[in-house]
Chains A and B, each alone.
Chain A
Amino acid sequence: MNASSDQPTHRSPGLIEGTRVLFSRELALERQTFAWLGAAGLLAIQEIVIIGLGFRDEVLSDTRLALSMAAIWLAFLFAGVVGINRSLGQENRDGAFDALLLMPTPRASIYLAKVISGTIFLCGASLVLLLGAGLFLNLPVIKAMPLLLPVMVLSAGGYVAIGTLLGSAVMGVRGREALLSVTILPLVVPLFLMATGAGRDVVLIFHEQDMLAISGAETMSYSETLGTAFSDVAQELGLLLAVDSLYLGLGILLYEKVVER
Protein backbone atom coordinates (compact mmCIF):
# COMPACT_ATOMS: atom_id res chain seq x y z
CA MET A 1 0.00 0.00 0.00
CA ASN A 2 1.55 3.32 -0.96
CA ALA A 3 1.43 6.53 1.08
CA SER A 4 -1.26 8.21 -0.98
CA SER A 5 -3.80 5.42 -0.39
CA ASP A 6 -3.47 5.90 3.40
CA GLN A 7 -4.86 9.42 3.15
CA PRO A 8 -8.61 9.71 3.80
CA THR A 9 -10.53 10.22 0.55
CA HIS A 10 -12.97 13.17 0.39
CA ARG A 11 -15.86 12.82 -1.97
CA SER A 12 -17.72 15.98 -2.91
CA PRO A 13 -21.47 15.61 -2.49
CA GLY A 14 -23.39 15.31 -5.73
CA LEU A 15 -26.39 17.34 -6.83
CA ILE A 16 -29.04 15.38 -4.92
CA GLU A 17 -27.00 14.95 -1.74
CA GLY A 18 -25.92 18.59 -1.84
CA THR A 19 -29.51 19.70 -2.34
CA ARG A 20 -30.64 17.57 0.60
CA VAL A 21 -27.97 19.01 2.92
CA LEU A 22 -28.65 22.59 1.83
CA PHE A 23 -32.40 22.07 2.09
CA SER A 24 -31.94 21.09 5.76
CA ARG A 25 -29.93 24.27 6.18
CA GLU A 26 -32.77 26.34 4.65
CA LEU A 27 -35.25 24.70 7.05
CA ALA A 28 -33.00 25.47 10.02
CA LEU A 29 -32.59 29.05 8.83
CA GLU A 30 -36.35 29.48 8.51
CA ARG A 31 -36.88 28.07 12.01
CA GLN A 32 -34.49 30.70 13.35
CA THR A 33 -35.50 33.74 11.33
CA PHE A 34 -39.08 33.18 10.08
CA ALA A 35 -38.03 35.08 6.97
CA TRP A 36 -40.70 33.46 4.80
CA LEU A 37 -43.58 32.43 7.02
CA GLY A 38 -43.19 35.41 9.35
CA ALA A 39 -43.05 38.14 6.73
CA ALA A 40 -44.92 36.60 3.81
CA GLY A 41 -47.60 34.86 5.90
CA LEU A 42 -48.33 37.93 8.03
CA LEU A 43 -48.41 40.18 4.98
CA ALA A 44 -50.83 37.79 3.28
CA ILE A 45 -53.23 37.84 6.24
CA GLN A 46 -53.08 41.64 6.53
CA GLU A 47 -53.84 42.00 2.84
CA ILE A 48 -56.83 39.66 3.09
CA VAL A 49 -58.22 41.65 6.03
CA ILE A 50 -57.91 44.90 4.06
CA ILE A 51 -59.50 43.34 0.95
CA GLY A 52 -62.32 42.06 3.18
CA LEU A 53 -62.85 45.59 4.50
CA GLY A 54 -63.11 46.87 0.93
CA PHE A 55 -65.75 44.28 0.03
CA ARG A 56 -67.69 44.32 3.32
CA ASP A 57 -70.91 45.82 1.88
CA GLU A 58 -70.87 43.82 -1.35
CA VAL A 59 -73.09 40.79 -1.95
CA LEU A 60 -71.16 37.66 -2.98
CA SER A 61 -71.75 38.01 -6.72
CA ASP A 62 -69.70 36.47 -9.54
CA THR A 63 -67.98 39.84 -10.10
CA ARG A 64 -67.04 40.20 -6.45
CA LEU A 65 -65.83 36.63 -6.43
CA ALA A 66 -63.61 37.19 -9.49
CA LEU A 67 -62.28 40.43 -7.99
CA SER A 68 -61.59 38.73 -4.67
CA MET A 69 -59.66 35.97 -6.42
CA ALA A 70 -57.62 38.59 -8.33
CA ALA A 71 -56.89 40.31 -5.01
CA ILE A 72 -55.78 36.97 -3.51
CA TRP A 73 -53.30 36.51 -6.35
CA LEU A 74 -52.03 40.03 -5.82
CA ALA A 75 -51.49 39.22 -2.15
CA PHE A 76 -49.70 36.02 -3.21
CA LEU A 77 -47.46 38.05 -5.53
CA PHE A 78 -46.51 40.53 -2.81
CA ALA A 79 -45.98 37.76 -0.26
CA GLY A 80 -43.62 36.02 -2.67
CA VAL A 81 -41.53 39.12 -3.37
CA VAL A 82 -41.29 39.92 0.34
CA GLY A 83 -40.31 36.33 1.16
CA ILE A 84 -37.63 36.10 -1.53
CA ASN A 85 -36.25 39.51 -0.61
CA ARG A 86 -36.09 38.72 3.09
CA SER A 87 -34.57 35.27 2.74
CA LEU A 88 -31.85 36.34 0.26
CA GLY A 89 -31.29 39.67 2.02
CA GLN A 90 -30.47 37.79 5.20
CA GLU A 91 -27.84 35.71 3.40
CA ASN A 92 -26.33 38.84 1.89
CA ARG A 93 -26.20 40.78 5.17
CA ASP A 94 -24.38 38.07 7.08
CA GLY A 95 -22.00 37.25 4.23
CA ALA A 96 -23.33 33.72 4.52
CA PHE A 97 -23.89 33.49 0.80
CA ASP A 98 -20.17 33.82 0.00
CA ALA A 99 -19.49 31.01 2.47
CA LEU A 100 -22.20 28.96 0.81
CA LEU A 101 -20.47 29.34 -2.53
CA LEU A 102 -17.30 27.84 -1.04
CA MET A 103 -19.10 24.57 -0.30
CA PRO A 104 -17.90 21.68 -2.47
CA THR A 105 -21.39 21.04 -3.81
CA PRO A 106 -22.57 21.87 -7.34
CA ARG A 107 -23.91 25.42 -7.49
CA ALA A 108 -27.17 24.07 -8.87
CA SER A 109 -27.76 22.31 -5.53
CA ILE A 110 -27.76 25.72 -3.76
CA TYR A 111 -30.37 26.88 -6.25
CA LEU A 112 -32.48 23.74 -6.00
CA ALA A 113 -32.44 23.80 -2.19
CA LYS A 114 -33.55 27.42 -2.19
CA VAL A 115 -36.28 26.78 -4.77
CA ILE A 116 -37.66 23.71 -2.99
CA SER A 117 -37.64 25.37 0.43
CA GLY A 118 -38.99 28.66 -0.94
CA THR A 119 -41.82 26.84 -2.73
CA ILE A 120 -42.76 25.00 0.46
CA PHE A 121 -42.71 28.21 2.51
CA LEU A 122 -44.65 30.19 -0.07
CA CYS A 123 -47.21 27.37 -0.22
CA GLY A 124 -47.46 27.63 3.58
CA ALA A 125 -48.06 31.37 3.29
CA SER A 126 -50.60 30.70 0.49
CA LEU A 127 -52.45 28.24 2.67
CA VAL A 128 -52.77 30.95 5.31
CA LEU A 129 -53.94 33.28 2.52
CA LEU A 130 -56.60 30.83 1.27
CA LEU A 131 -57.88 30.05 4.75
CA GLY A 132 -58.04 33.79 5.45
CA ALA A 133 -59.94 34.29 2.19
CA GLY A 134 -62.44 31.58 3.20
CA LEU A 135 -62.90 33.22 6.60
CA PHE A 136 -62.87 36.95 5.80
CA LEU A 137 -64.14 37.01 2.20
CA ASN A 138 -66.66 34.15 2.45
CA LEU A 139 -65.25 32.45 -0.63
CA PRO A 140 -65.80 28.69 -1.11
CA VAL A 141 -62.04 28.10 -1.06
CA ILE A 142 -62.10 25.29 1.49
CA LYS A 143 -64.29 23.17 -0.80
CA ALA A 144 -62.18 24.13 -3.80
CA MET A 145 -58.92 23.40 -1.95
CA PRO A 146 -58.14 20.06 -3.71
CA LEU A 147 -57.86 21.99 -6.97
CA LEU A 148 -56.68 25.35 -5.66
CA LEU A 149 -53.71 23.75 -3.91
CA PRO A 150 -52.15 22.29 -7.11
CA VAL A 151 -52.64 25.68 -8.80
CA MET A 152 -50.95 27.42 -5.84
CA VAL A 153 -48.11 24.87 -5.66
CA LEU A 154 -47.38 25.11 -9.39
CA SER A 155 -47.56 28.91 -9.35
CA ALA A 156 -45.35 29.08 -6.27
CA GLY A 157 -42.83 26.70 -7.88
CA GLY A 158 -42.37 28.79 -11.02
CA TYR A 159 -42.46 32.05 -9.10
CA VAL A 160 -39.81 30.98 -6.59
CA ALA A 161 -37.68 29.41 -9.37
CA ILE A 162 -37.44 32.70 -11.25
CA GLY A 163 -37.39 34.78 -8.05
CA THR A 164 -34.46 32.90 -6.55
CA LEU A 165 -32.49 33.27 -9.78
CA LEU A 166 -33.13 37.01 -10.04
CA GLY A 167 -32.81 37.55 -6.27
CA SER A 168 -29.35 35.97 -6.34
CA ALA A 169 -28.49 38.04 -9.42
CA VAL A 170 -29.33 41.39 -7.85
CA MET A 171 -27.82 40.48 -4.46
CA GLY A 172 -25.45 43.28 -3.50
CA VAL A 173 -26.82 45.64 -6.15
CA ARG A 174 -27.93 49.15 -5.16
CA GLY A 175 -31.71 49.29 -4.61
CA ARG A 176 -31.88 45.49 -4.62
CA GLU A 177 -35.40 45.17 -3.19
CA ALA A 178 -37.08 47.54 -5.64
CA LEU A 179 -35.04 46.11 -8.50
CA LEU A 180 -36.13 42.54 -7.72
CA SER A 181 -39.80 43.59 -7.82
CA VAL A 182 -39.32 45.47 -11.09
CA THR A 183 -37.44 42.66 -12.82
CA ILE A 184 -39.40 39.68 -11.52
CA LEU A 185 -42.95 40.85 -12.27
CA PRO A 186 -42.78 40.89 -16.09
CA LEU A 187 -41.32 37.40 -16.07
CA VAL A 188 -43.97 35.85 -13.83
CA VAL A 189 -46.99 37.42 -15.52
CA PRO A 190 -47.39 34.47 -17.97
CA LEU A 191 -47.54 32.22 -14.91
CA PHE A 192 -50.12 34.42 -13.23
CA LEU A 193 -52.28 34.74 -16.35
CA MET A 194 -52.82 31.00 -16.14
CA ALA A 195 -53.06 30.79 -12.36
CA THR A 196 -55.61 33.60 -12.01
CA GLY A 197 -57.80 32.09 -14.73
CA ALA A 198 -57.64 28.61 -13.20
CA GLY A 199 -58.24 29.83 -9.62
CA ARG A 200 -61.23 31.97 -10.63
CA ASP A 201 -62.82 29.18 -12.70
CA VAL A 202 -62.54 26.65 -9.86
CA VAL A 203 -64.04 28.97 -7.23
CA LEU A 204 -66.81 30.11 -9.60
CA ILE A 205 -67.92 26.50 -10.21
CA PHE A 206 -68.17 25.83 -6.46
CA HIS A 207 -69.95 29.16 -5.93
CA GLU A 208 -72.52 28.28 -8.61
CA GLN A 209 -73.20 24.96 -6.87
CA ASP A 210 -73.64 26.78 -3.54
CA MET A 211 -76.12 29.19 -5.12
CA LEU A 212 -78.06 26.31 -6.70
CA ALA A 213 -78.20 24.54 -3.31
CA ILE A 214 -79.52 27.71 -1.63
CA SER A 215 -82.25 28.10 -4.28
CA GLY A 216 -83.24 24.46 -3.79
CA ALA A 217 -82.30 23.39 -7.31
CA GLU A 218 -80.63 20.11 -8.11
CA THR A 219 -76.86 20.22 -7.61
CA MET A 220 -73.93 18.04 -8.55
CA SER A 221 -72.25 15.90 -5.92
CA TYR A 222 -68.93 17.12 -4.50
CA SER A 223 -66.90 14.66 -6.57
CA GLU A 224 -68.81 15.58 -9.74
CA THR A 225 -68.16 19.27 -9.08
CA LEU A 226 -64.49 18.53 -8.54
CA GLY A 227 -64.38 16.56 -11.79
CA THR A 228 -66.07 19.35 -13.74
CA ALA A 229 -63.75 21.96 -12.24
CA PHE A 230 -60.72 19.79 -13.00
CA SER A 231 -61.69 19.35 -16.66
CA ASP A 232 -62.07 23.15 -16.86
CA VAL A 233 -58.60 23.87 -15.49
CA ALA A 234 -56.66 20.83 -16.74
CA GLN A 235 -55.17 22.82 -19.63
CA GLU A 236 -54.03 25.63 -17.32
CA LEU A 237 -52.47 23.11 -14.91
CA GLY A 238 -50.56 21.53 -17.78
CA LEU A 239 -49.33 24.92 -18.97
CA LEU A 240 -48.33 25.91 -15.44
CA LEU A 241 -46.30 22.70 -15.22
CA ALA A 242 -44.66 23.46 -18.58
CA VAL A 243 -43.74 27.03 -17.53
CA ASP A 244 -42.42 25.74 -14.17
CA SER A 245 -40.23 23.20 -15.95
CA LEU A 246 -38.94 25.88 -18.32
CA TYR A 247 -38.10 28.31 -15.51
CA LEU A 248 -36.54 25.60 -13.35
CA GLY A 249 -34.46 24.36 -16.28
CA LEU A 250 -33.28 27.88 -17.11
CA GLY A 251 -32.56 28.48 -13.43
CA ILE A 252 -30.40 25.36 -13.08
CA LEU A 253 -28.51 26.23 -16.28
CA LEU A 254 -27.98 29.91 -15.45
CA TYR A 255 -27.43 29.85 -11.68
CA GLU A 256 -23.74 29.08 -12.04
CA LYS A 257 -23.38 32.24 -14.16
CA VAL A 258 -25.52 34.31 -11.81
CA VAL A 259 -23.38 33.66 -8.73
CA GLU A 260 -20.06 33.79 -10.61
CA ARG A 261 -17.69 36.06 -8.69
Chain B
Amino acid sequence: MNPVFAPRRELFFWVAAVLCVVGVVGTVWAMYYAYISIPPHMPHDSFFIMKPENAAGNNPMKLYHSYRIFFLHLPSAYATMFVSLTMGLSGILYLISKKRHWDSLISAATQVGIATCLLTMATGFFWGDFAWGIGWSGEPRLNAVLVLWLSYLALLALRHSIPDPNKRAQLTAIYAILTLPIYPFAKYAIEIYGEVNHPPNLRAIIGDENIINARSLAIPSLISLYAFFVVLRFWHLEMRRDMSRIRRAMQELGNS
Protein backbone atom coordinates (compact mmCIF):
# COMPACT_ATOMS: atom_id res chain seq x y z
CA MET B 1 0.00 0.00 0.00
CA ASN B 2 1.52 3.31 -1.04
CA PRO B 3 1.29 6.48 0.98
CA VAL B 4 -1.24 8.74 -0.70
CA PHE B 5 -0.65 12.06 0.98
CA ALA B 6 3.14 12.29 0.69
CA PRO B 7 3.22 13.29 -3.05
CA ARG B 8 0.89 16.24 -2.35
CA ARG B 9 2.83 17.50 0.63
CA GLU B 10 4.47 20.33 -1.27
CA LEU B 11 1.15 21.77 -2.42
CA PHE B 12 -0.21 21.65 1.09
CA PHE B 13 2.93 23.26 2.45
CA TRP B 14 2.38 26.31 0.23
CA VAL B 15 -1.36 26.47 0.93
CA ALA B 16 -0.65 26.31 4.67
CA ALA B 17 2.17 28.87 4.40
CA VAL B 18 0.03 31.41 2.51
CA LEU B 19 -2.90 30.99 4.91
CA CYS B 20 -0.55 31.26 7.90
CA VAL B 21 1.13 34.47 6.67
CA VAL B 22 -2.16 36.10 5.61
CA GLY B 23 -3.85 34.94 8.81
CA VAL B 24 -1.16 35.96 11.30
CA VAL B 25 -0.16 39.27 9.68
CA GLY B 26 -3.79 40.21 8.95
CA THR B 27 -4.98 39.28 12.43
CA VAL B 28 -2.20 41.23 14.19
CA TRP B 29 -2.90 44.23 11.96
CA ALA B 30 -6.68 43.97 12.42
CA MET B 31 -6.38 43.59 16.19
CA TYR B 32 -3.95 46.53 16.42
CA TYR B 33 -6.32 48.62 14.32
CA ALA B 34 -9.40 47.48 16.24
CA TYR B 35 -8.04 47.63 19.80
CA ILE B 36 -5.45 50.41 19.70
CA SER B 37 -5.70 52.55 16.61
CA ILE B 38 -9.45 53.27 16.24
CA PRO B 39 -10.52 56.09 18.53
CA PRO B 40 -13.61 55.31 20.57
CA HIS B 41 -15.67 57.69 18.51
CA MET B 42 -19.23 56.45 18.29
CA PRO B 43 -22.41 58.28 17.37
CA HIS B 44 -24.78 58.62 20.34
CA ASP B 45 -27.60 56.64 18.79
CA SER B 46 -25.28 53.72 18.06
CA PHE B 47 -26.16 50.23 19.21
CA PHE B 48 -23.00 50.23 21.33
CA ILE B 49 -23.83 53.41 23.18
CA MET B 50 -27.47 52.53 23.76
CA LYS B 51 -27.92 51.37 27.32
CA PRO B 52 -30.61 48.74 27.98
CA GLU B 53 -32.52 49.14 31.22
CA ASN B 54 -31.34 45.89 32.72
CA ALA B 55 -27.62 46.60 32.28
CA ALA B 56 -25.50 47.45 35.30
CA GLY B 57 -25.15 51.17 35.98
CA ASN B 58 -26.52 54.03 33.92
CA ASN B 59 -23.38 55.44 32.39
CA PRO B 60 -23.42 54.91 28.63
CA MET B 61 -19.63 55.33 28.57
CA LYS B 62 -19.38 51.89 30.15
CA LEU B 63 -20.20 50.34 26.78
CA TYR B 64 -17.74 52.62 25.04
CA HIS B 65 -14.89 50.22 24.29
CA SER B 66 -16.88 47.00 24.58
CA TYR B 67 -17.70 46.92 20.84
CA ARG B 68 -14.10 45.88 20.19
CA ILE B 69 -14.91 42.31 21.24
CA PHE B 70 -16.94 42.04 18.03
CA PHE B 71 -13.75 41.99 16.00
CA LEU B 72 -13.25 38.51 17.46
CA HIS B 73 -16.91 37.54 17.71
CA LEU B 74 -17.95 38.24 14.14
CA PRO B 75 -15.01 36.54 12.31
CA SER B 76 -15.40 33.49 14.57
CA ALA B 77 -19.10 33.29 13.65
CA TYR B 78 -18.25 33.55 9.93
CA ALA B 79 -15.52 30.92 10.36
CA THR B 80 -18.11 28.63 11.97
CA MET B 81 -20.25 29.08 8.86
CA PHE B 82 -17.31 28.11 6.62
CA VAL B 83 -16.52 25.12 8.84
CA SER B 84 -20.13 24.01 8.63
CA LEU B 85 -20.08 24.34 4.83
CA THR B 86 -16.72 22.54 4.57
CA MET B 87 -18.03 19.66 6.66
CA GLY B 88 -21.23 19.29 4.66
CA LEU B 89 -19.57 19.55 1.26
CA SER B 90 -16.76 17.17 2.28
CA GLY B 91 -19.43 14.73 3.46
CA ILE B 92 -21.17 14.87 0.07
CA LEU B 93 -17.85 14.52 -1.78
CA TYR B 94 -16.85 11.55 0.39
CA LEU B 95 -20.11 9.74 -0.34
CA ILE B 96 -19.61 10.35 -4.06
CA SER B 97 -15.90 9.56 -4.36
CA LYS B 98 -15.15 7.41 -1.26
CA LYS B 99 -11.77 9.14 -1.03
CA ARG B 100 -10.54 9.13 2.54
CA HIS B 101 -9.02 12.60 2.48
CA TRP B 102 -12.55 14.03 2.59
CA ASP B 103 -13.02 12.18 5.86
CA SER B 104 -9.83 13.74 7.24
CA LEU B 105 -11.09 17.16 6.13
CA ILE B 106 -14.40 16.66 7.95
CA SER B 107 -12.53 15.65 11.09
CA ALA B 108 -10.12 18.60 10.89
CA ALA B 109 -12.92 21.09 10.18
CA THR B 110 -15.02 19.72 13.07
CA GLN B 111 -12.17 20.13 15.55
CA VAL B 112 -11.52 23.71 14.46
CA GLY B 113 -15.30 24.32 14.37
CA ILE B 114 -15.56 23.37 18.03
CA ALA B 115 -13.04 26.12 18.85
CA THR B 116 -14.59 28.81 16.58
CA CYS B 117 -18.10 28.07 17.77
CA LEU B 118 -16.98 28.19 21.42
CA LEU B 119 -15.16 31.48 20.80
CA THR B 120 -18.29 32.94 19.15
CA MET B 121 -20.44 31.92 22.10
CA ALA B 122 -17.91 33.02 24.73
CA THR B 123 -17.32 36.51 23.25
CA GLY B 124 -21.08 36.96 22.76
CA PHE B 125 -21.69 35.81 26.33
CA PHE B 126 -19.15 38.26 27.82
CA TRP B 127 -20.54 41.18 25.85
CA GLY B 128 -24.17 40.24 26.57
CA ASP B 129 -23.41 39.92 30.28
CA PHE B 130 -21.77 43.35 30.25
CA ALA B 131 -24.23 45.20 28.04
CA TRP B 132 -27.58 43.51 28.57
CA GLY B 133 -26.98 42.30 32.14
CA ILE B 134 -27.53 38.71 31.02
CA GLY B 135 -24.93 36.56 29.28
CA TRP B 136 -27.18 33.79 28.07
CA SER B 137 -30.58 35.20 27.24
CA GLY B 138 -31.78 31.90 25.77
CA GLU B 139 -32.67 33.44 22.42
CA PRO B 140 -33.18 31.16 19.41
CA ARG B 141 -29.92 32.18 17.73
CA LEU B 142 -27.86 31.53 20.86
CA ASN B 143 -29.56 28.18 21.34
CA ALA B 144 -29.06 27.30 17.69
CA VAL B 145 -25.32 28.08 17.87
CA LEU B 146 -25.07 25.98 21.04
CA VAL B 147 -26.84 23.17 19.21
CA LEU B 148 -24.37 23.51 16.34
CA TRP B 149 -21.50 23.20 18.82
CA LEU B 150 -23.14 20.15 20.40
CA SER B 151 -23.56 18.59 16.96
CA TYR B 152 -19.78 18.96 16.36
CA LEU B 153 -19.12 17.22 19.67
CA ALA B 154 -21.65 14.52 18.76
CA LEU B 155 -19.86 13.97 15.45
CA LEU B 156 -16.57 13.41 17.27
CA ALA B 157 -18.31 11.06 19.73
CA LEU B 158 -19.71 9.14 16.75
CA ARG B 159 -16.25 8.90 15.17
CA HIS B 160 -14.65 7.60 18.35
CA SER B 161 -17.27 4.87 18.75
CA ILE B 162 -16.67 3.18 15.40
CA PRO B 163 -13.46 1.16 15.10
CA ASP B 164 -13.91 0.19 11.42
CA PRO B 165 -12.34 3.07 9.40
CA ASN B 166 -14.60 2.63 6.36
CA LYS B 167 -17.79 2.60 8.37
CA ARG B 168 -16.48 5.48 10.48
CA ALA B 169 -15.81 7.60 7.40
CA GLN B 170 -19.21 6.72 5.90
CA LEU B 171 -21.19 7.62 9.01
CA THR B 172 -19.11 10.72 9.67
CA ALA B 173 -19.89 11.95 6.16
CA ILE B 174 -23.61 11.29 6.64
CA TYR B 175 -23.69 13.05 10.00
CA ALA B 176 -21.73 15.99 8.60
CA ILE B 177 -24.38 16.39 5.88
CA LEU B 178 -27.13 16.24 8.48
CA THR B 179 -25.53 19.06 10.50
CA LEU B 180 -25.52 21.30 7.42
CA PRO B 181 -29.06 22.76 7.93
CA ILE B 182 -28.27 23.84 11.52
CA TYR B 183 -26.13 26.83 10.50
CA PRO B 184 -28.78 28.44 8.24
CA PHE B 185 -31.24 27.84 11.06
CA ALA B 186 -28.93 29.67 13.49
CA LYS B 187 -28.43 32.46 10.96
CA TYR B 188 -32.13 33.05 10.28
CA ALA B 189 -33.43 32.27 13.79
CA ILE B 190 -33.80 36.00 14.48
CA GLU B 191 -35.79 36.60 11.29
CA ILE B 192 -38.02 33.63 12.18
CA TYR B 193 -38.66 34.55 15.81
CA GLY B 194 -38.09 38.33 15.81
CA GLU B 195 -38.07 40.65 18.86
CA VAL B 196 -34.78 39.58 20.42
CA ASN B 197 -31.78 41.36 21.92
CA HIS B 198 -29.28 39.99 19.41
CA PRO B 199 -29.09 42.27 16.35
CA PRO B 200 -29.88 40.46 13.08
CA ASN B 201 -27.22 42.33 11.16
CA LEU B 202 -24.33 44.32 12.64
CA ARG B 203 -23.61 46.14 9.39
CA ALA B 204 -26.90 48.01 9.66
CA ILE B 205 -26.17 49.37 13.13
CA ILE B 206 -22.49 50.24 12.81
CA GLY B 207 -22.13 53.53 11.02
CA ASP B 208 -18.54 54.43 11.90
CA GLU B 209 -16.18 54.14 8.94
CA ASN B 210 -13.18 53.10 11.09
CA ILE B 211 -15.14 50.24 12.57
CA ILE B 212 -16.32 49.09 9.14
CA ASN B 213 -12.69 49.12 7.94
CA ALA B 214 -11.47 47.17 10.98
CA ARG B 215 -14.29 44.70 10.52
CA SER B 216 -13.46 44.26 6.82
CA LEU B 217 -9.85 43.54 7.78
CA ALA B 218 -10.57 41.28 10.76
CA ILE B 219 -13.02 38.94 9.04
CA PRO B 220 -10.81 37.65 6.16
CA SER B 221 -7.69 37.63 8.37
CA LEU B 222 -9.18 35.58 11.17
CA ILE B 223 -10.93 33.27 8.72
CA SER B 224 -7.53 32.68 7.02
CA LEU B 225 -6.03 31.89 10.42
CA TYR B 226 -8.77 29.38 11.21
CA ALA B 227 -8.42 27.91 7.70
CA PHE B 228 -4.69 27.52 8.41
CA PHE B 229 -5.55 25.48 11.53
CA VAL B 230 -7.91 23.30 9.46
CA VAL B 231 -5.18 22.68 6.85
CA LEU B 232 -2.61 21.97 9.58
CA ARG B 233 -4.88 19.46 11.31
CA PHE B 234 -5.82 17.91 7.96
CA TRP B 235 -2.13 17.57 7.14
CA HIS B 236 -1.49 15.94 10.50
CA LEU B 237 -4.35 13.45 10.05
CA GLU B 238 -3.26 12.54 6.51
CA MET B 239 0.38 12.06 7.58
CA ARG B 240 -0.76 9.89 10.48
CA ARG B 241 -2.82 7.78 8.09
CA ASP B 242 0.16 7.43 5.75
CA MET B 243 2.37 6.41 8.69
CA SER B 244 -0.06 3.72 9.78
CA ARG B 245 -0.22 2.40 6.19
CA ILE B 246 3.58 2.26 6.04
CA ARG B 247 3.72 0.55 9.44
CA ARG B 248 1.16 -2.04 8.30
CA ALA B 249 3.04 -2.65 5.04
CA MET B 250 6.31 -3.14 6.94
CA GLN B 251 4.64 -5.59 9.32
CA GLU B 252 3.26 -7.55 6.36
CA LEU B 253 6.73 -7.56 4.81
CA GLY B 254 8.24 -8.79 8.08
CA ASN B 255 5.63 -11.54 8.42
CA SER B 256 6.27 -12.79 4.89
- What residues make up the interface of A, taking CB atoms closer than 8 Å to B? 162, 165-166, 169-170, 173-175, 179, 182-183, 185-187, 189-190, 193, 197, 235, 239, 243, 246, 250, 254, 257-258, 260
Contact = CB atoms under 8 A, between A and B. Distances in A.
A186 B143 contact: no
A243 B143 CA distance: 17
Contacts of B185: 190
Contacts of B163: 174
A183 B140 contact: no
Contacts of B154: 182-183, 185-186
A173 B161 contact: yes
A179 B144 contact: no
14 contacts: A169-B171, A182-B158, A183-B154, A183-B158, A185-B150, A186-B179, A187-B182, A190-B147, A190-B181, A190-B182, A190-B185, A193-B189, A235-B192, A254-B178
A189 B157 contact: no
Contacts of A235: 192
Interface of B: 95, 140, 143-144, 147-148, 150-151, 154-155, 157-158, 161-163, 170-171, 173-175, 177-179, 181-182, 185, 189, 192-193
Given A174-B161, A182-B154, A183-B157, A246 B171 contact: no
Contacts of A246: 181
Contacts of A166: 175, 178
Contacts of A258: 170-171, 174
A187 B151 contact: yes
Contact of B182 (A170, A183, A186, A197): A186
Among all A-B residue pairs, the 9 with the closest Cβ atoms: A186-B151, A186-B150, A189-B147, A183-B154, A190-B185, A186-B147, A182-B154, A169-B171, A182-B157
Contacts, number: 72
A158 B138 CA distance: 23
B181 A175 contact: no
A197 B139 CA distance: 12
A166 B174 CA distance: 9
Contacts of B170: 257-258, 260
B158 A170 contact: yes
Given A169-B174, A197-B193, 15 more contacts: A166-B178, A169-B171, A170-B158, A170-B161, A170-B171, A173-B161, A174-B161, A174-B163, A179-B157, A183-B155, A186-B182, A187-B178, A189-B147, A193-B140, A193-B144
Contacts of A260: 170
A169 B177 CA distance: 13
B168 to A, nearest CB: 9
A248 B52 CA distance: 43
Contacts of B95: 254, 257
B143 A254 contact: no
Nearest to B189: A193
Contacts of A170: 158, 161, 171
B175 A183 contact: yes
B107 to A, nearest CB: 16
Contacts of B174: 165, 169, 254, 257-258
A170 B173 CA distance: 13
